[in-house]
Structure 1
Amino acid sequence: MLDWLLRKLFGTKSEREVKKLRKFVEEIGKKERELDELSNRELVELSRELHRKVLDDHELKEDIIRGRIREEVLLAFALVREAGKRTLGLRFFDVQLIGGLVLHQGKIAEMKTGEGKTLVATSAVYVNALTDEGVHVVTVNDYLARRDATWMGPIYKFFDLSVGVINSDYSSYRVEWADEELARKAIEEDWRVWPKGYFEEVLPSDKINVSAKKAFLTKLVPCTRREAYEAHITYGTNNEFGFDYLRDNMAFSLDEIVQVKNHNYAIVDEVDSILIDEARVPLIISGPSQMDTSIYYLADSIVRQLKKDIDYIVDEKNRTVLLTEEGIRKAEKLAGVDNLYDIKNIELLHAINQSLRAHNLFKRDVHYIVRDGEVLIVDEFTGRVLPGRRWSDGLHQAIEVKEGVPIQQENQTLASITFQNYFKLYRKLAGMTGTAETEALEFKEIYGLDVVVIPTHKPVRRKDHPDVVYKTKKEKWQAVVDIIKEEHKKGRPILVGTVSIEDSEHLSRLLQKEGIPHNVLNAKHHEREAEIIAQAGRVGAVTISTNMAGRGTDILLGGNPEYLARQMLKERGINPEEATEEQWKEALEDAYKITEEEKKKVIELGGLLVIGTERHESRRIDNQLRGRAGRQGDPGESRFILSLEDDLLRIFGGDRVKKLMDFLKIPEGEPIESRLVTKAIQNAQKRVEAQNFQIRKRLLEYDNVMNIQRNTVYSMRRDILEGKDLEEYLKEFIHDVLEAKVNELLPEDEPELWNVKALEEYLLELTGQPINIPQVRDKEELVEVLTQELLGIVEEKKQELTEEVFKEALRVIMLHTLDQLWREHLHVLDRLREGIYLRGYAAKDPLVEYKKEAFYIFENMLFNFKERTVSDVLKVKIASPEELQEEELKQQEEHQKVLQSAVLSTVESQPEQKGPRKKTLKERLQEKKKR
């Protein structure tokens, strides 16, 4: 009650924040009038002056990086607003400028669907790009990265800022003018998409300058990965930014590093999807392991003979499957082993557990699809296929055997990082989404990000009805079909959301029986995504979609005129890219007439009708579906039609509703429609969200242990790559190794009691030559004397090899040794983590035990690194420059093989790079000799 009263008196935290920012928006509005009078050339020059000022003024640059709002920041925002009108024909609403300021401050802007988040980001991106420190715009898929970069590209190109795009197939692009000459002419001659002095929010189509619209178009041109990152602004997916970071820390030379700029500033689109939903799974680069994959066939044959609830128990709530005592005995008999839990059978036990999960928790056409003899993962949040991605730890192999497709080799971890720890690398992080407020606590606790709810440009007119619950799925689907049938007759556009491919195809078959034309958008039909969504608001359109998160395209009532114009040109036999100004104008006018007419009809019918056929685990995904209706003040309607057999209701509390229906004697086909039912479902969703939060939090706690170790190793690795103080490292290594071994092999304090034979044998093994133990007073002096002795051998090696060759040999030895040991270390930690939970039975906290064990293992790894490096350097043979080059090239080729065979996580394979054929080792050596 007190909270409600305080909110009424003083407003919410977001409302107070928005109120503060409105005064800055007023200042930007004043500057708009002044900038409107400037020519394109003058506007560009003003931007260049601002760019120079930011680079010359260190304090201003730091203020921008820290998200402070100064006069120069407001000027930058005004410049972007003006450029948007001139190049895109889009003018920032005041609330969009508020959203941009929130992003600049390093916060999360919650803006409803259809409020123009793609445009909002450009203002914050532009002002932070002026620092030349790099800006990363993170999207949920490759299509949106390419689309957003080219769509917003004209604003950046207008101001001479470079834009790069990275994709998951390792292709990379830079954004260029579609017609460089025409764009330059448009700038010189002051062409504008919007006429000068026009400040209305919506511009009639007859006032748009089609020539300017065509002049200010951009395209993607292939470039190297490094060039894409060298740009002022880089668009890409969260996975690719993370994988490139890991790959850079596996690079064999500085030339291979692509993320050349620091992690300065990132804006994450659909921030809740990326930083929360996807953060349950870490990014992993894996390589082939030595495990025999035939063990999965044996495990599968055993699992198929086990009976549910007798031999094993499935806990769908916690997504686990456990063997019973009877099941263990039966599995042992079928496998022909005495004890399944014996150390020698541990791999078989692991394979059986994964096979049980594959058969009971992972469903075809829900969690994955099978296409061309391959198991492809379906993203549970967007409904898209994730090509090349694989589940780790043998789960993917278990599913491949279950589906009878060729089994691929299991993998072991080569490099890993969680999204939480990757995004914490950025000096400033911001995000935008339509649904973040429900997760505000997690954003603050994990990432230190505040959520600011931005008001809509126009009031929301959508009607959200209470949930309707039927007893069975059959009744539910019949009710959905009846509603679609009734509304389709009127011509009302309908969007139906499903949670799986299986459901979308089932509904599609039901609609086909009724003769209702419709489009299906799921992982199997994603190629026509933009086309389907763009026209989902037309009269009579029926669209079935598996999840609507991150689709990145608005559903306009009456349809999208520009898309329709392109379609018309194609029907007239004209390529839209080659159409003349007159042809484009004619097509646009015809398209606007059709869409405006249809829009009026759709508004009369009540706008877009959204039907949800199942509640998702997360309320945010449901809200994203609802948000497709009622955009920009349009009318709309949403309702969820559920059944007690839906997974969420069945697992979390559907029994209570069922008992209520039985008590009230509700006949078949009659639903319960009540706010109480909706509330009960939301409570179930809250429980799942809380459970998933704990999973993500636990994952982060475990990864934080490795994060300290990862940062230490990556920092050391970068020093080695850059050749920094390598000889100082070597001196330190020699001293540390000798000190540890002297203390271990000579435990007594008095020199008279020392048994020096063991130390002599160790030194012979370490250096490859006999070393006499001198007469000294104590261990400290012995370590110093032996250190000098070994440094003398190092000096001799340097003389023999020449200083330049010695430094290169030292660099190669250190890199190779560190990489090998780090990979082994990650493998050991994977195995440690798998079994550490058993410590809980001894009343010990598994996390505390993991921290202790991981620390000791890491200390041991570092000592092994020092010892192996010292030994290899002291034993290095004299080689000719040609032999050294050959060895280095071999090492590089081996390294490339590891990277090319690596799988990226959960796990995604790295495809071949496109481009000219790589030269063989022999060819490169011959070229070096010629030079």
Structure 2
Amino acid sequence: MAALISRVGKKLRRIIQRPGSVELTRYEALLPAIEKLEPELEKLSDEELTDRAGKLRDATSFGNDQLVEVCALGREAARRALGERAFDVQLLGTMGLLSGHIVQMETGEGKTLAGALAGAGYALRGKHVHVVTVNDYLARRDAEWMGPIYDLLGVSVGWIEPAHSRDERREAYAKEVTYGAVSEIGFDVLRDRLVTREEDLVQRKPEVAIVDEADSVLVDEARVPLVMAGSIDHTDADEEVANIVRRLRLGLHYETDADGRNAWLTKAGASVVEKALGDDINLYDDTGSDRLPAVNVALHAHALLTRDVDYLVRDGKVQLINAARGRVAELQRWPDGLQAAVEAKEQVKATDRGEILDSITVQALLARYPEVAGMTGTAVAVAEQLREFYELEVAVIPPNTPNVREDQEDRIFGSPSQKLRAIEEEIRRVHESGRPILVGTQDVAESEELAEKLAKIELECVVLNARNDAEEAEIIADAGKKGAVTVSTQMAGRGTDIRLGGKDGDGRDDVVELGGLHVIGTARYPSSRLDGQLRGRSGRQGDPGSAVFFASLNDELVLSNAPDIPEGISSDVGSGEITDSAALRQINHAQRVAEGVDLEIHRNTWRYTRLIERQRGELLAHRDTVLRTAHAAEVLEKAHPEKFKELSEAVDDEAKVEQLSREVLLFHIDQLWSDHLAFLTDVRESIHLRALARETPIDEFHRAAIPEFHKIIPEAAERAAKTLEEAEITENGIDLGDAGVRRANTTWTYLVHDNPFDSDFEQTIKKVRSMIKRK
């Protein structure tokens, strides 16, 4: 009875304290059975261990007995291969992943090993597994690091990275477990959607995805579209407009809204631009409406995007910064003309522009997998989103060693300058004790400004930001050394493991005695999870440590999301520090507003892309039929029997005729899909104005999108038939280039760095406000 009451109480505590968490009792009950197998498995040779793992492939079901066997075998394999005996909490994580959950494990608790054992477990069930990472470095590192464990369990493993050829990718995807960055896996999906020969496909049918840093991939990047583009010619018009906009002044020629997301020309600004463009242009009628989009994106680039905050200029190129990670986003670019506008603003060489051939959001990419699981240090905060968008539940794994980190109260100041002085003093004070310090800043510019300030007071520090990301591993390795001061962007906030005493741990005892790593946040992030990730760099595996955030009521977070500061909040006359609890409530409120805005953007993105994904799925099923069968030849033969007969007789090779037919039909299918995506973009950008007429934008979007989509397959067949009808047939068949079947001579992939789907209401208000401002 007492045991029953204890279990009920434990369950209630989990429900109350950790919303959305999975009950762990079932898995905890299996731990004694796993431990009981250890002596037996230790006696096996490596070959016998591999053979025993292989027997799991014959299991007709996967219940508790199989979970016990996988975990016991995995623990023994890890002990032999890495010299590490998996903790019970790591095995709980493994079981949570094998049950299709998102597992939350704290920093340093061994998520990588838990993910590898789960990957092996799925593979031994006959599933092909993709371990989805946040970057290419982690994909290769983890695949090579965990490789010996997979070998002992008889499971093949590979990884993909940008430098890999098509053949190397196909070989990697043929393995039972494949590690890859989410972007690389997504781009391979897009490339496969454009092949014209079945043998050129590199991926297999998706089955299981285990997502590392799951909250980042599934939530933060869920709405990010991955894009496949084909080259088209670009013009010099971007530079002309950029030179005009560069002369405009805020308050006179243009205005911006309080949250810095929208900019618009004033009457005076429009007059200046129109005069500079010449030819009696009016931007708001037929004479200049075609120039207005270029002016708008140039104004956005000029007024709303800041160098060293939103992007860097490095090696003569504009490189975007991933705000959530503080790193250069190697493959990211802004959509449409905005990338070119920023390049023109910074007067660097314009990169290729192109038409979008296909795209897929990260959320849609992960939705392809019948089974999804994941691991991260901060999942509970987004438990409701994981449930809403992915039907995934969170399992909170307790730490192997209790966390003893001291999380200090936020220190709040009236102005950013007062805050900065206090941060300098905090760094100086703690540094004098010898403790290592990690300072988390908001962006590149702030990290470099703080480093300059510290240099003036003779405090040496190491800066880690998007400029020197190649040195990340070396910098992080020494960030836990006695006396070290590391100033970093969000690069050091996720996926990094700072060991006390440095990479070799020689000085660990000294640092532990001093109190461990001290983490300082220079401002609260737009997400509480990012705050938690930064704090989590300290207190690893029960190490001592501390963390404190500094904030100001004039930080960007507050100004953008909760600018109406309650009256009566006063600060210390000398330091400017505010101790009134209302200030902390205001900052917490601003953060919740920011999180709410991101959630609404995510929700609205999915509302629109859900229809696009259904249409894409239907079209891909048809395309797959064309790719793998003689369907294209049958279509053309039916449309033009005599011309098709002429082709067949001229070529006298049925397989070649089928391939020529396939090339023609697939070209038109792909072109029409590309046109459809462009059409949907135009509809999506203008649909909000319909809300002014009390029409529901999403309904209007569906009303416009669905009929156009149903035209694609019949239209493609008609165009293919026309191509055959007009083609000149020779003994080699059809010259596809002369027949107009020309695919892009250059294709490339990128991620769109954009929040194109704000709430319908917000977009409408912006449109109205912009129109009012112009009058």
TM-score (norm 2): 0.90
| Match of residue 857 from structure 1 | 708
Aligned residue type for 1:31: L
What is residue 698 of structure 1 aligned with on the other side? 604
1:31 aligns with 2:49: no
Q: Which secondary structure does the structure 1 equivalent of 2:495 belong to?
A: coil
> In structure 2, do the counterparts of structure 1 residues 344 and 254 end up closer, same or farther at CA, with 3 Å as the change threshold?
farther
User: Which amino acid in 2 is paired with 1:689?
Assistant: E
2:12 maps to 1:10: yes
| Matching residue's letter, 1:28 | I
Which region of structure 1 is more displaced relative to structure 2, 463-472 or 420-429? Answer: 463-472
Which residues of 2 match residues 556-705 of structure 1 at below 5 A?
A: 556-561=499-504, 595=506, 598-656=507-565, 659-661=567-569, 664=570, 666-673=572-579, 675-705=581-611
The answer for the alignment partner of 2:130 in structure 1 is 136
Residues 145-167 of structure 1, C-alpha deviation per residue, up to 9 Å, x if partnerless?
11111111110122332221111
Tell me the secondary structure at the aligned position of residue 438 of structure 2.
Answer: strand
Assess, with a 3 A threshold, how the Cα gap between structure 1 residues 425 and 644 changes in structure 2: closer, same or farther: same
Cα drift, residue 863 of structure 1: 2.9
Provide, for residues 209-235 of structure 1, a one-character-per-residue CA deviation record: whole Å limited to 9, x for no partner: xxxxxxxxxxxxxx7111111111111
How far off its partner does 1:365 sit?
0.8
The answer for the alignment partner of 2:274 in structure 1 is: 332
Q: CA RMSD in A?
A: 2.7
Q: 1:109 aligns with which of 103, 113, 133?
A: 103
| Cα deviation, residue 807, structure 1 | 2.4
What is the distance in 1 between the residues matched to 2:134 and 2:738? 38
Shift of 1:525: 1.4
Output the CA distance in 1 between the equivalents of 2:22 and 2:244: 62
Q: 1:902 to 1:413 in 2, by over 3 A?
A: same
Q: Which one of the candidate residues 217, 239, 243 is aligned to 2:183? A: 239
**Would you say 1:278 and 2:221 are equivalent positions?**
yes
Cα separation, 2, equivalents of 1:16 and 1:273: 20
**Pair 1:463-2:406 in alignment:** yes
Aligned match of 1:375: 318
* Residue of structure 2 in register with 1:366 after alignment: 309
Which residue number corresponds to residue 417 of structure 1?
Answer: 360
**CA 1:800/1:40 → structure 2, altered by over 3 Å: closer, same or farther?**
closer
Is the CA contact (8 Å cut-off) linking 1:295 and 1:348 kept in structure 2? no
Q: 1:501 Cα deviation (Å)?
A: 0.7
Distance 2:672 2:493 in 1: 40
1:830 to 673, 681, 696: 681
Q: Residue 486 of structure 1 is aligned with which of 425, 429, 433? A: 429
1:634 maps to a residue whose letter is: D
Query: Which of 261, 277, 296 does residue 238 from structure 2 map onto?
Result: 296
Mapping for residues 150-549 of structure 1, pairs under 5 Å = 150-170=144-164, 224-259=168-203, 261-290=204-233, 292=235, 294-317=236-259, 319-336=261-278, 337-343=280-286, 345-548=288-491
Amino acid at match of 1:486: R
**What amino acid maps onto 1:514 in structure 2?**
I
Look up the SS of the partner of 1:666 in the other structure. coil
- Give the deviation of 1:297 after TM superposition: 2.4
Q: How far does the alpha carbon of each residue in 1:341-364 deviate from its partner, in whole angstroms, 9 at most, with x for none?
A: 335633421111112221222111
Q: Which moved more, 1:666-675 or 1:142-151?
A: 666-675
Q: Is the Cα–Cα contact under 8 Å of residues 228 and 234 in structure 1 kept in the other structure?
A: yes
Counterparts in 2 of 1:120 and 1:863: CA distance versus 1, 3 Å: same
Aligned amino acid, residue 244 of structure 1:
D
Q: Give the match's secondary structure for 2:307.
A: coil
Tell me the SS of whatever aligns to 2:674.
Answer: helix
Cα gap change, 1:436/1:316 in structure 2, threshold over 3 Å: closer, same or farther?
farther
Give 2:189's aligned amino acid.
Y
Q: Give the secondary structure class of the aligned counterpart of 1:413.
A: strand
Three-state SS of the structure 2 residue aligned to 1:821 is helix
| Residue deviations 1:629-674 (CA, integer Å, cap 9, x gap) | 11211121111112233211222335526x444xx36314231145
| Distance in 2 between residues matched to 1:495 and 1:550, nearest whole Å | 10
Aligned residue among 23, 26, 41 for 1:20: 26
Q: Distance in 1 between matches of 2:660 and 2:536?
A: 60
Deviation at 1:330, TM superposition (A): 4.2
Aligned to 1:76: 70
Post-superposition offset of 1:318:
6.5
* CA shift digits 1:42-81 (9 cap, x unpaired): 2122123333x15xxxx43xx5xxxxx3422321221111
Q: How many residues align?
A: 741
Deviation of 1:686 (Å): 1.1
Measure the CA separation in 1 of the matches of 2:389 and 2:348.
40
Note closer, same or farther for the CA distance 1:674–1:226 as it changes in structure 2 (3 Å cut).
farther
SS of the aligned residue for 2:24 comes to helix
Give, in angstroms, the shift of residue 104 of structure 1: 0.9
Of all paired residues, the percent bearing the same amino acid is: 39
Identify if the C-alpha distance between structure 1 residues 826 and 76 changes in structure 2 by more than 3 Å, giving closer, same or farther.
Answer: same
> Given that residues 102 and 374 in structure 2 are in contact (C-alpha distance below 8 angstroms), is that contact kept between their aligned partners in structure 1?
yes
Q: Match for 1:340: what amino acid?
A: L
Give the match's secondary structure for 1:902. Answer: strand
SS in 1 for 2:221: helix
Deviation at 1:124, TM superposition (A): 0.7
What's the counterpart of residue 120 of structure 1? Answer: 114
2:628 aligned residue: 722
Instruction: Report the equivalent of 1:553.
Output: 496
Partners of 2:225 and 2:361 within 8 A in 1: yes
Deviates more, 1:237-246 or 1:346-355: 346-355
The one-character-per-residue Cα deviations of 1:695-714 (angstroms, maximum 9, x if unpaired) are 11211221122112211222
Aligned-partner Cα distance in 2 for 1:687–1:7? 34
Give the Cα–Cα distance (whole angstroms) in 1 for the partners of residues 684 and 265 of structure 2.
20
Structure 1 residue 540: Cα displacement = 0.8
**Superimposed CA distance per residue, residues 415-466 of structure 1 (whole angstroms, 9 cap, x where no aligned partner):** 1111111110001011111111111111111111111211111211111112
One-letter code aligned to 2:159: V
AA paired with 2:273?
A
Bigger Cα displacement from structure 2, 543-552 vs 118-127: 543-552
- Counterpart of 2:240, as a letter, is L
Q: Flag the 1:236–1:9 CA change in 2: closer, same or farther, 3 A.
A: closer
Contact (CA 8 Å) 1:156, 1:162: kept in 2 or not? Answer: yes
User: How big is the shift at 1:548?
Assistant: 4.1
CA contact (8 A) 1:108 1:452 kept: yes
Q: Aligned letter for 1:140?
A: V
**Residues 1:86 and 2:29 are matched in the alignment:** no
- Among 745, 748, 753, the alignment partner of 1:902 is 748
Answer yes or no: is the 8 Å Cα contact 1:313–1:323 preserved in 2.
yes
Query: Using the alignment, how far apart are the partners of 1:457 and 1:47 within structure 2?
Result: 27
- Gapped regions of structure 1 (runs ≥ 5): 1-5, 64-68, 173-222, 562-591, 735-789, 909-931
Q: Distance in 1 between matches of 2:308 and 2:215?
A: 25
Q: Distance in 1 between matches of 2:705 and 2:85?
A: 55
TM norm structure 1: 0.75
Contact 1:467–1:677 under 8 Å retained in 2: no
Structure 1 CA distance for aligned equivalents of residues 330 and 496 of structure 2: 22
CA distance in 2, matches of 1:167, 1:717: 27
Cα drift, residue 325 of structure 1: 4.5
Question: Is contact 1:418–1:700 with CA below 8 Å preserved after alignment?
Answer: no
Q: Residue 110 of structure 1 aligns to which amino acid in structure 2? A: Q
Counterpart code for 1:859: H
Q: Are 2:465 and 2:491, in contact at CA under 8 Å, matched by a contact in 1?
A: no
**Paired residue for 2:768?**
none
Between 375-384 and 812-821, report the one with greater CA deviation: 812-821
SS at match of 1:461: coil
Render the CA deviation track for 1:169-226: whole Å, top value 9, x for unaligned: 4468xxxxxxxxxxxxxxxxxxxxxxxxxxxxxxxxxxxxxxxxxxxxxxxxxx7111
The 2-side partners of 1:376 and 1:136 are apart by 29
